[in-house]
Amino acid sequence: MYSTVCETDRVTTNSPATPGSYVEPGEFKRDTNYITTRITADGRDGFPVERGSYRLIAARACPWANRTLIVRRLLGLEPVLSLGLCGPTHDARSWTFDLDPGEVDPVLGIHFLRDAYLRRFPDYPRGITVPAIVDVNTGAVATNDFAQMTLDFSTEWTEFHRPGAPQLYPPELRSEIDTVAKRIYTEVNNGVYRCGFAGDQQAYDAAYDRLFTALDWLEDRLSRQRYLVGDTITEADVRLFTTLVRFDPVYHGHFKCNRNKLDEMPALWGYARDLFQTPGFGDTVDFDQIKAHYYIVHTDINPTRIVPKGPDLSGWLTPHGREKLGGRPFGDGTPPPPPVPAEVVGRK
């Protein structure tokens, strides 16, 4: 059976009603095997970076796909890497292009993202995941390796970066970025899922303690500096932001990560608002799609599929005061221009 996961890292599904995730006794585990083909400047894996040859397939609901939307915006890759958006809900077969006219992607001509996976691997055995990059010429998926994808946007797609694009993965900071990002991934990005899909009390308690230990570490770190590494926005900030922006709307209640709400952790709350109000971050976030995905798709956790009306999200646009910590969001670069009209949140 195919499984379909927002989270790109995959776990097996035991129910068509619960695509991509399930609750079993013990600790939540992920399948972290990806299509590791890379799209590079020299084309060494058979996929050279080229204008118009690839289509990024994402979903605004998904935190891992949200990373690619942010980095693509910050670097100005919109003119060379087109975007297809799947809707926030799906069944066990595949993400679908149900936001488009006729529920068909206008470039790839498919309804199920699964078709692009099967075009390359007819017996593809793993989850049909976002983000994915599809070769437009063949209609086949090139890669779904979300962690490498954004790093390659920064390092392999440089020919097509906009003037003023920031250095999100500067060579002199890569070691520290990698170290910080690894802890964020294991303890926070994945930590909320370890809580939400824990199969017994002992596993949940351990996951909860790990998550909030890491959040306390981040609260302390960010009380003293504006950004996670150095004095500008880097890849590490992108990776943390997409979990933080989903924390109060979803993870606090739905995943039982409820020691504190984000807005009860002053440094993290200020940091998250600072990024949200930075061009390229908040303008990629669709809270309605985020809530719809988690509460409707995860029926093991929410069998009624009722989507809560709250929480009040108006605070995201309130002053954050982080400027007093110094730092320059884009370093020697500049903010990205406004989103292209077709990609404005809420447009489809």
* Positions at the binding site: 95
- List the binding residues for glutathione: 95
* Residue 195 is a catalytic residue: no
The token duo for 69 is 């939307």
The amino acid occupying position 24 is E
90, 157 in Cβ contact below 8 A?
Answer: no
228, 221 in Cβ contact below 8 A?
Answer: yes
The amino acid occupying position 167 is Q
Kindly provide the b/e burial profile for residues 265-294, where b requires at least 16 CB atoms within 10 angstroms of the residue's own CB. bebbbbbbbbbbbbbbbbbbbbbebbbbbb
* Catalytic member of 2, 22, 54, 193: 193
72, 97 in Cβ contact below 8 A?
Answer: no
**Of 213, 196, 218, 345, which Cα lies nearest the Cα of 283?**
345
* Residue 193 is a catalytic residue: yes
Give φ, ψ of 160 to 5 degrees. Answer: -110, 10
* Catalytic member of 6, 22, 54, 62: 62
Q: What amino acid positions are annotated as catalytic residues? A: 62, 193
